[in-house]
A and B are shown apart, each in its own frame.
Chain A
Amino acid sequence: MSWSWVADVLANVCLVGGSFLALAAGVGVVRFPDLLSRMHAGTKPQVLGLILLLAGEALRVRSVQVLGMLVLVVVFQLLTAPVAAHMVGRAGYRTGKVRSELLVVDELTLDRVPGLAPDEITHREDPQAGLGDDIDVDAGQDRPER
Chain B
Amino acid sequence: MIVAVVCGVFLSVAAVLSLVRAERGPSMLDRTIALDVFVTTVVGGIVLEAAYSGRTDTLPILVVLSLVGFVGSVTIARFASVEPEGEGRVRTPEEIAADESALVDSEDEHPVLGNEQTQSGAHGGHVGDEEGDR
Contact = CB atoms under 8 A, between A and B. Distances in A.
A35 B77 CA distance: 13
Interface class of chain A by DSSP: helix
A21 to B, nearest CB: 9
Interface stretch (B22-30, B92-100, B104-112, B116-124): B22-30
Contacts, number: 182
Contact of B51 (A20, A26, A60, A94): A60
A53 B48 contact: yes
Contacts of A49: 40, 44
A83 B77 CA distance: 11
Contact of B40 (A25, A87, A95, A135): A25
B75 to A, nearest CB: 9
Contact of B44 (A18, A70, A84): A18
Nearest to B129: A94
Given A25-B18, A27-B17, A88-B77, A35 B29 contact: yes
A63 B51 CA distance: 12
Interface in B55-84: 56, 59-60, 62-63, 66-67, 69-70, 73-74, 76-78, 81-82
A106 interface: no
Contacts of A12: 3
B66 A73 contact: yes
Interface residues of A, number: 55
B48 A77 contact: no
Contacts of A76: 63, 66-67
Contacts of A38: 21, 30, 33-34
B127 interface: yes
A136 B34 CA distance: 15
Contacts of A69: 59-60, 62-63
When A and B form their complex, which 4 residue pairs have the shortest distance between CB atoms, in order from nearest?
Answer: A26-B17, A26-B14, A19-B10, A87-B77
Interface of A: 11-12, 15-16, 18-20, 22-23, 25-27, 29-30, 35, 38-39, 42, 45-46, 49-50, 53-54, 56-57, 60-61, 63, 65-66, 69-70, 72-74, 76-77, 80-81, 83-84, 87-88, 90-92, 94-95, 97, 128, 131, 134-136
